[in-house]
């Protein structure tokens, strides 16, 4: 159950949709906020839990099992146990703490999803997603065919899961990733300010 001391913001959605940029901008604008990125919890390359796609000779980095979600949950709970005073914030004691969580399959983790007071999902079409993704450099780099065979199908399955779960779907604000970053930010920021009021 969400903590009254904390407003937890969840931002998910397509690869290259601007999630990280939006989350960082929110963190900058919202005093008393902390940010965690799901991408920081990928398992190391030599971890035996990775799923290998034999035909591509490449790991599937698009599934939740490619991440240490136990560690992410643990970090979230550690942060939420701290108080405003313990974090030595200069803001008024009455201010709510804000935790911004960002990740491409963030809501796949039910515990984290249930912690989020507000949820946003930035969507993209396949073509626009590909046009953006192919300009980015990943570590490890995408191999030929990875987007078509893995990235997009995994994203499509994730979106299907979100929309099939009626309660979850109704709790998410879906935002068109073709809008400008300013428009997306303003939509989320305005909504968050209402929640804090």
Residues 6+ away with beta carbon under 8 Å from 76: 36, 99, 101, 112, 115
- Pairing, β 58-59 against β 52-53: antiparallel
User: What are the Cα distances from residue 8, in Å, to 54, 97, 157, 195?
Assistant: 39, 9, 25, 10
> Residue 88 above 90 pLDDT?
no
Residues recorded for the chain: 197
Whether cis (ω within 30° of 0) applies to the bond prior to 100 is no
Which positions ≥6 away from 175 have C-beta within 8 Å?
13, 120, 121, 122, 123, 184, 187, 188
**Is the pLDDT score of 165 beyond 60?**
yes
Q: Which pLDDT belongs to residue 94?
A: 52
Q: Do residues 184 and 175 touch, judged by C-beta distance below 8 A?
A: yes
**Using alpha carbons only, what angle is made at residue 189 by residues 183 and 194, rounded to the nearest 5 degrees?**
130
Confidence class for position 113, pLDDT limits 50, 70, 90: very high
Residue 151 tokens read as: 């990235």
Maximum alpha-carbon separation in the chain: 56
What pLDDT, in 10s, does the model give residues 7-59?
999 999 999 999 999 999 999 999 899 999 999 999 999 999 999 999 999 99
Q: Cα separations (Å) of 74 from 24, 80, 131, 191, 193?
A: 21, 10, 35, 28, 27
**Nearest residue to 154 (alpha-carbon basis) of 37, 14, 28:** 14
A 10 A CB-CB count for 124 gives 22
């Amino acid at each position: 159950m969400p903590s009254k001391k904390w407003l937890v913001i969840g931002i998910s959605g397509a690869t290259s949709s601007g999630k990280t940029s939006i989350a960082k901008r929110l963190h900058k604008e919202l005093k008393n906020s902390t940010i965690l990125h799901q991408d920081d919890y990928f398992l190391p390359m030599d971890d035996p839990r990775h799923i290998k796609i034999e035909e591509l000779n490449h790991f599937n980095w698009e599934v939740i099992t490619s991440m240490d979600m136990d560690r992410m949950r643990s970090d979230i709970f550690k942060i939420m146990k701290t108080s405003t005073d313990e974090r030595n914030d200069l803001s008024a004691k009455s201010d709510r703490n804000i935790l911004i969580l960002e990740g491409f399959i963030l809501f796949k983790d039910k515990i984290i999803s249930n912690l989020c007071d507000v949820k946003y999902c930035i969507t993209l079409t396949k073509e626009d997603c590909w046009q953006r993704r192919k300009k980015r450099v990943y570590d490890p780099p995408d191999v030929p065919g990875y987007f078509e065979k893995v990235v997009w199908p995994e994203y499509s399955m994730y979106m299907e899961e979100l929309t099939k779960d009626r309660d979850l779907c109704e709790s998410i604000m879906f935002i068109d990733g073709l809008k400008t970053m300013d428009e997306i930010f303003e939509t989320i920021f305005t909504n968050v300010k209402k929640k804090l009021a």
